[in-house]
Amino acid sequence: MKVSLFIFLVSPLFILAGCAVTSPSDVGEFSKTAKLNLVQESFSTLPNWKSDNFSNLALAYKKSCSRILKKDSQSNFGPSTKFGKSQEWQIACRKFNSVDKNNAAKMRQFFETNFIPYSAQADNNPEGLFTGYYEASLKGSRQRSERYNYPLRSRPDDLVMVDLGAFREELKGQRIAGRVKGGNLKPYETHKQIINGELPSAQDKALVWIDNAVDGFFLQIQGSGVVAMDDGSVMRVGYAGQNGHPYYAVGRELIKRGELNKDNVSMQSIREWMVTNPEQAQDLMTTNKSYVFFSENNGEGPLGGEGVALTAGRSLAIDRSIVPYGMPVWFSTEGSEGKNINKLMITQDTGGAIRGPVRGDYFWGYGDYAEKMAGGMKSKGRYWFLLPKSL
């Protein structure tokens, strides 16, 4: 689970709605009431449908299918009946096993034969906001030292995270967290309290020590990263839990203080401000009460909310309370640096600010290029859900 970079910069929301936005501040207000509408279309209406070479698509879809095939066939596939039962999706996954994954024409034929595209709309608006995220890069050590003096903390043993949807259908996608005291769930320590050492000592456990507090803060936004260790090894870390407090965007705070404006706020400008103003940076970070804990991830890549390793350029984060995991989505928007993106993606993650029917976060992968592209992506766009014909 992660938080969209753009929403991290400007939105007051916590954990990801879509609309055509005229300014960043419009996003949250609109998303509170927008409902998902699905309008049936044809593959011929999808922008540049025949342009995708489907590279890496099979890798991503097979990961989701491995989860789908384990579901109860009679269970609802998504948070609403719009998406049918799991059995329809299981049929499609089984058929996918026999497709030539190296033949783009055969892949395209498989989806045209077995699925119908539906335009996803927020109420009657098909346009929404699409942003990007990436797997962060840091430097660290297993031992604390003068250089490596900032901890990435392991999840405390007494942190209780509650998926409210497991108790009530209407609360799907909503979560709270805290600590049990006297038989009641109480709020956990805030970001500021945690870094000030107010966690019980037995619960304050460093997974790894890093050399840069700003890098650690951005890692909390991304939810996963790769730490180059001082002994030459590499540690992949991922989201293990969150303290339950609402996310507050530091970019919005800098705009409020007059340090940045809506035109120049970006991941890069916020990082630059923090580096230039180190004494004020810590205070800025703690205006966000949310705090993320980490664990070591020995898998092939960062895990998304679906529980599968994400695939660069094919994994999309969505609002899990509205959209199911494991669904093919035709994605069409303008990416960073004015590069148009038209490709098939799989819904495999969610995040701290992804909220609404037409809202997505594009996973760019790992490295400098991924960071650059993710940091500059905040685009209007559309997507089409591919639903099995048997629905």
List the chain pLDDT tens, one digit each, 391 residues.
554 444 444 443 332 222 222 222 233 333 456 899 999 999 999 999 999 999 999 999 999 999 999 999 999 999 989 999 999 999 999 999 999 999 999 999 999 999 999 999 999 999 999 999 888 899 999 999 999 999 999 999 999 999 898 898 888 778 899 999 999 999 999 999 999 999 999 999 999 999 999 999 999 987 889 999 999 999 999 889 999 998 888 999 999 999 999 888 888 899 999 999 999 999 999 999 999 999 998 877 788 889 999 999 999 999 999 999 999 999 999 877 678 999 999 999 987 678 899 999 999 998 888 888 887 788 999 999 999 998 7
Residue 203 in tokens: 């619960």
E strands, 271-339, where? 292-296, 315-317, 328-334
pLDDT on residue 14: 30
Look at residue 391 and give its three-state secondary structure. coil
DSSP state of 359: E
Q: Is 108 left (phi over 0), alpha (psi -120 to 50) or beta?
A: alpha
d(CA 305, CA 347): 9
5-132+308-363+378-388, what's its fold? Barwin-like endoglucanases (2.40.40)
Crossing angle of helices 213-222 and 267-276, in 10° steps, is 160
DSSP state of 288: S
pLDDT on residue 125: 96
d(CA 108, CA 344): 10
User: Containing H/E element for 380?
Assistant: strand 378-388
CA distances from 282 to 189, 198, 252 (A): 17, 16, 16
Beta strand pairing status for 175-181 and 234-242? unpaired
- At a CB cut-off of 8 Å and minimum separation 6, what does 87 contact? 73, 74
- The domain segmentation of the chain, as residue ranges, is 5-132+308-363+378-388
DSSP state of 148: S
Residue type, 74: Q
* Global pTM value: 0.74
Edge-to-edge strand order for the sheet containing 175-181?
160-163, 175-181, 184-186
Beta strand pairing status for 128-141 and 359-366? parallel
Say how far residue 136 (Cα) sits from the centre of its chain: 13
User: Containing H/E element for 301?
Assistant: none
**Residue of 158, 152, 54 whose CA lies nearest to 112:** 54
d(CA 383, CA 119): 6
pLDDT on residue 1: 52
CA distances from 156 to 150, 203, 291, 368 (A): 17, 5, 12, 32
